[in-house]
Structure 1
Amino acid sequence: MKVNVDQGRCCGAGQCVLIAPEVFDQRDDDGIVTLLEPSPAADVHAAVRGQEDADQQENQLLRPGPVP
Protein backbone atom coordinates (compact mmCIF):
# COMPACT_ATOMS: atom_id res chain seq x y z
CA MET A 1 0.00 0.00 0.00
CA LYS A 2 1.16 3.50 -0.85
CA VAL A 3 -0.40 6.49 0.94
CA ASN A 4 -0.53 10.06 -0.33
CA VAL A 5 -2.24 13.01 1.34
CA ASP A 6 -3.50 16.32 0.00
CA GLN A 7 -2.71 18.89 2.68
CA GLY A 8 -4.69 21.52 0.80
CA ARG A 9 -7.90 19.59 1.49
CA CYS A 10 -7.16 18.81 5.15
CA CYS A 11 -9.53 20.43 7.66
CA GLY A 12 -7.24 19.68 10.62
CA ALA A 13 -9.77 17.59 12.59
CA GLY A 14 -7.14 14.94 13.40
CA GLN A 15 -9.30 11.87 12.74
CA CYS A 16 -6.56 10.31 10.64
CA VAL A 17 -4.10 10.61 13.55
CA LEU A 18 -6.59 8.95 15.90
CA ILE A 19 -7.27 6.11 13.45
CA ALA A 20 -3.68 5.45 12.28
CA PRO A 21 -1.09 7.30 14.40
CA GLU A 22 1.69 5.18 12.90
CA VAL A 23 0.97 6.72 9.52
CA PHE A 24 -0.33 10.26 10.16
CA ASP A 25 0.55 13.22 12.35
CA GLN A 26 -0.49 16.88 12.47
CA ARG A 27 1.51 20.07 12.23
CA ASP A 28 1.67 21.85 15.58
CA ASP A 29 0.83 25.29 14.23
CA ASP A 30 -2.36 24.55 12.27
CA GLY A 31 -3.26 20.86 12.68
CA ILE A 32 -2.82 20.02 9.01
CA VAL A 33 -1.98 16.38 8.31
CA THR A 34 1.58 15.21 7.79
CA LEU A 35 2.48 11.79 6.45
CA LEU A 36 4.81 9.79 8.67
CA GLU A 37 4.80 6.56 6.68
CA PRO A 38 3.97 6.56 2.96
CA SER A 39 4.27 2.74 2.78
CA PRO A 40 2.70 1.48 6.02
CA ALA A 41 3.06 -2.04 7.34
CA ALA A 42 0.34 -4.56 6.50
CA ASP A 43 -1.01 -4.54 10.05
CA VAL A 44 -2.24 -0.93 9.67
CA HIS A 45 -3.70 -1.22 6.16
CA ALA A 46 -7.24 -1.71 7.49
CA ALA A 47 -7.01 1.46 9.60
CA VAL A 48 -5.68 3.47 6.66
CA ARG A 49 -8.44 2.13 4.42
CA GLY A 50 -10.99 3.10 7.08
CA GLN A 51 -9.60 6.62 7.10
CA GLU A 52 -9.64 6.69 3.31
CA ASP A 53 -13.35 5.78 3.36
CA ALA A 54 -14.06 8.56 5.87
CA ASP A 55 -12.13 11.10 3.82
CA GLN A 56 -13.89 10.08 0.62
CA GLN A 57 -17.09 11.25 2.26
CA GLU A 58 -15.58 14.39 3.77
CA ASN A 59 -12.82 16.05 1.78
CA GLN A 60 -10.86 13.67 -0.44
CA LEU A 61 -7.72 14.04 1.69
CA LEU A 62 -6.19 10.69 0.82
CA ARG A 63 -5.16 9.82 -2.68
CA PRO A 64 -4.75 6.20 -3.74
CA GLY A 65 -1.25 5.17 -4.62
CA PRO A 66 0.04 2.13 -6.46
CA VAL A 67 -0.27 -1.13 -4.60
CA PRO A 68 2.97 -3.10 -4.65
Structure 2
Amino acid sequence: MTKPSKEVEKIEQLLADPWAVDIQDIEEERANLRFLKATEGTPVTEFKDAKEVADWLNDPDED
Protein backbone atom coordinates (compact mmCIF):
# COMPACT_ATOMS: atom_id res chain seq x y z
CA MET A 1 0.00 0.00 0.00
CA THR A 2 1.28 3.49 -0.80
CA LYS A 3 1.90 6.14 1.82
CA PRO A 4 -0.67 8.96 1.76
CA SER A 5 0.59 12.41 0.86
CA LYS A 6 0.89 15.22 3.40
CA GLU A 7 -2.22 16.85 1.95
CA VAL A 8 -4.25 13.68 2.41
CA GLU A 9 -2.95 13.28 5.95
CA LYS A 10 -3.88 16.90 6.74
CA ILE A 11 -7.41 16.43 5.36
CA GLU A 12 -7.85 13.20 7.31
CA GLN A 13 -6.65 14.94 10.47
CA LEU A 14 -9.09 17.80 9.90
CA LEU A 15 -11.95 15.38 9.43
CA ALA A 16 -11.03 13.37 12.51
CA ASP A 17 -10.41 16.28 14.87
CA PRO A 18 -10.73 19.82 13.45
CA TRP A 19 -9.31 21.42 16.62
CA ALA A 20 -6.08 19.39 16.55
CA VAL A 21 -4.72 21.03 13.38
CA ASP A 22 -1.84 23.49 13.72
CA ILE A 23 -3.38 26.67 12.35
CA GLN A 24 -0.02 28.47 12.36
CA ASP A 25 1.29 26.30 9.49
CA ILE A 26 -1.80 27.04 7.42
CA GLU A 27 -1.57 30.78 8.11
CA GLU A 28 2.14 30.86 7.23
CA GLU A 29 1.43 29.12 3.94
CA ARG A 30 -1.38 31.59 3.17
CA ALA A 31 0.94 34.53 3.96
CA ASN A 32 3.62 33.13 1.65
CA LEU A 33 1.10 32.69 -1.15
CA ARG A 34 -0.20 36.25 -0.67
CA PHE A 35 3.37 37.57 -0.83
CA LEU A 36 4.12 35.61 -3.99
CA LYS A 37 0.94 36.82 -5.63
CA ALA A 38 1.61 40.44 -4.62
CA THR A 39 5.18 40.37 -5.94
CA GLU A 40 4.55 38.24 -9.03
CA GLY A 41 5.81 40.85 -11.51
CA THR A 42 8.59 42.24 -9.34
CA PRO A 43 12.13 41.54 -10.57
CA VAL A 44 14.39 39.77 -8.09
CA THR A 45 16.68 42.82 -8.06
CA GLU A 46 14.06 44.75 -6.06
CA PHE A 47 14.38 42.55 -2.98
CA LYS A 48 16.80 42.69 -0.04
CA ASP A 49 20.12 40.97 -0.83
CA ALA A 50 19.05 40.87 -4.48
CA LYS A 51 22.59 40.97 -5.81
CA GLU A 52 23.56 37.84 -3.89
CA VAL A 53 20.43 36.06 -5.10
CA ALA A 54 20.96 37.16 -8.72
CA ASP A 55 24.62 36.08 -8.58
CA TRP A 56 23.60 32.71 -7.19
CA LEU A 57 20.89 32.25 -9.85
CA ASN A 58 23.26 33.24 -12.65
CA ASP A 59 26.27 31.20 -11.45
CA PRO A 60 27.16 28.81 -14.31
CA ASP A 61 29.11 26.54 -11.93
CA GLU A 62 26.13 25.99 -9.63
CA ASP A 63 24.20 22.73 -10.16
TM-score with structure 2 setting the length: 0.25
Question: Which is greater in Rg?
Answer: 2
TM-score with structure 1 setting the length: 0.24
Q: Which has the higher contact order (CA 8 A, sep 6+)?
A: 1
Structure with the bigger percentage of strand: 1
Structure with the bigger percentage of helix: 2
